[in-house]
Structure 1
Amino acid sequence: MPTKDRYHHGDLREELLRASLRLIETEGLTAVSLRRVAREAGVSPGAPYHHFTDRAALLAALSARGFEQLGAQMISARDQAANPREALIGMGVGYVRFARDNPAYFRLMFRPELYEADKHPDASSAGDAAYAVLEAAIAEATSTDALPSEDIDTLAVALWSLAHGLASLTVDGKLELRSAQMGTTAAELSDRVTRLFTEMINSRRPEA
């Protein structure tokens, strides 16, 4: 379908988001401007302003989309797990896999200026919703005695920090390099590290 016809059917916003993501993937975040995105999408320089007030609004919308996809991937990993503890391990590995498969989204999503609830409520809400998936999984793990139940909030932050650290190393190419030196893959190493971490947490359980 010709480009102008797609836009007449209300697809311009999606096309602008896709163009922004392509720019980030190929040239980096600094390449994104409303004028440049309009040119990439094949529309007039003023067209993006019908959907986004400025560059930050465009990037915040893209960030929200990334968090929605991350949340969906974590839910999928949770639902496929055999038990609550394996769900947490699978979600950690899924978090890393998302970063590996979507580095442009990952580099964008956690920029602090896009996470301000008063300025970009959709991005903030999407990020909170993704984190809530992890919190719910931890609550289930502790309720079934798969993990110790003391200080659940800290445990959630610890698991998030672990997954995010592994994801950042993956995006930077460091985890792939280290895993190759260890004779394994980045995905397998992520699984082993997350599993080791949950075992260490579980070992803190007071003896009866």
Structure 2
Amino acid sequence: MFNSSVPKEDSRDLRATLLATAIDMLAEPQAVAVPSLRSIARACGVAPSAVYWHFPSEAELRSAVLDAEYTDMVDSIEHALEIGGPDTDPLEIAGDAYVSWGLAHPGAYQLLFESNDPIPETRADNGPRLQRRIVDLAAAVDPDDPFSAALLLWTVWHGLVSLRLHKTDWPWGLTPTQANTRLITALKHPAVD
């Protein structure tokens, strides 16, 4: 049992120690978890053993979830690019599709991009496919270094999704689409000093 009677002169030191420990603990990335096998079984109305028949471990289920969600995201971006009109900038289409998917799938987005989990093999296949596509599109902005342009785009797109998911009360002023349009315009027409 814990002793709750801390002498008054020690309470400030304990407060400082508690605060410092909490800050130290926040320095480590926090886990974003797939629901447990038992909770999934309960939601499906089946016995836990039925889940284990298909997914022998939570790691295998997690990997399958990551694979499915990442594939869905990549496919939705590709689909948006395929149906985009000839007068629409492909970078704007890709960015809008990326941001829209992330905002529509907040838990999956966090699991994919806000955790430090290893990349499953099938997601590793889709990762380069998406990366190559965005690098190819970014070549229109920076033909000399399209990878850096693509990385900048992804960083901002990720920020648009992550901040809007976590800071819902902020007065954003711009819709995600407006923000993406301004980003692409700024990249294509940088201010000259």
TM (normalized to structure 2)? 0.70
Fraction of identical pairs, as percent: 21
Task: Note if 1:81 corresponds to 2:66.
Answer: no
In structure 1, the partner of 2:105 is 102
RMSD: 2.8
Find the counterpart in structure 2 of residue 148 from structure 1.
142
User: 1:121: Cα distance to partner?
Assistant: 0.9
Is 1:34–2:28 an aligned residue pair? Answer: no
Q: Which amino acid aligns with 1:63?
A: L
The CA distance in 2 between the partners of 1:126 and 1:47, in whole Å, is 29
Does the CA contact (< 8 Å) of 2:96 and 2:180 recur in 1? yes
SS in 2 for 1:129: helix
Matched, 1:72 2:65: no
CA 1:148/1:123 → structure 2, altered by over 3 Å: closer, same or farther? closer
**What does residue 51 of structure 1 align with?**
54
Alpha-carbon distance in 1 for matches of 2:94, 2:130: 11
Give distance in 2, aligned partners of 1:39 and 1:149: 53
**In the aligned structure 2, how far is the partner of 1:30 from the partner of 1:86?**
36
Is the contact made by 1:84 and 1:137 (CA closer than 8 Å) also made in structure 2? no
Match of 1:112, as an amino acid? N
CA spacing shift, 1:84–1:61, aligned 2, 3 Å:
farther
* 8 A contact 1:96–1:166 mirrored in 2: yes
Residue 150 of structure 1: CA displacement?
A: 1.4
**Structure 1 residue aligned with 2:155:** 161
1:39 deviates by 2.2
Specify whether residues 127 and 57 from structure 1 end up closer, same or farther in structure 2 by C-alpha distance, changes over 3 A only.
farther
Closer/same/farther in 2, CA of residues 56 and 77 from structure 1, 3 Å limit: same
**Residue 188 (structure 2) pairs with residue 202 (structure 1):** yes
Say which is worse superposed, 82-91 or 97-106, in terms of deviation. 82-91
**How far apart are 1:173 and its partner, in Å?**
4.1
TM-score by length of 1: 0.66
**Structure 2 unmatched ranges of 5 or more:** 1-30
**CA offsets, 1:83-141, max 9 Å, x none?**
597111121111111112111211111222142xxxx21233233333333233334xx
Q: Distance in 2 between matches of 1:38 and 1:69?
A: 23
List runs of 5+ in structure 1 lacking aligned partners.
1-27
Distance 1:48 1:114, change over 3 A: farther
Between structure 1 and structure 2, the one with the greater Rg is 2
Q: Deviations over 1:31-70 (max 9, x none)?
A: 7212222222222222222222311221221111111111
- Quickly say closer, same or farther: Cα 1:29–1:84, change in 2 above 3 A: same
Q: Is the 8 A contact 1:89 1:195 kept in 2?
A: yes
AA in 2 matched with 1:36: S
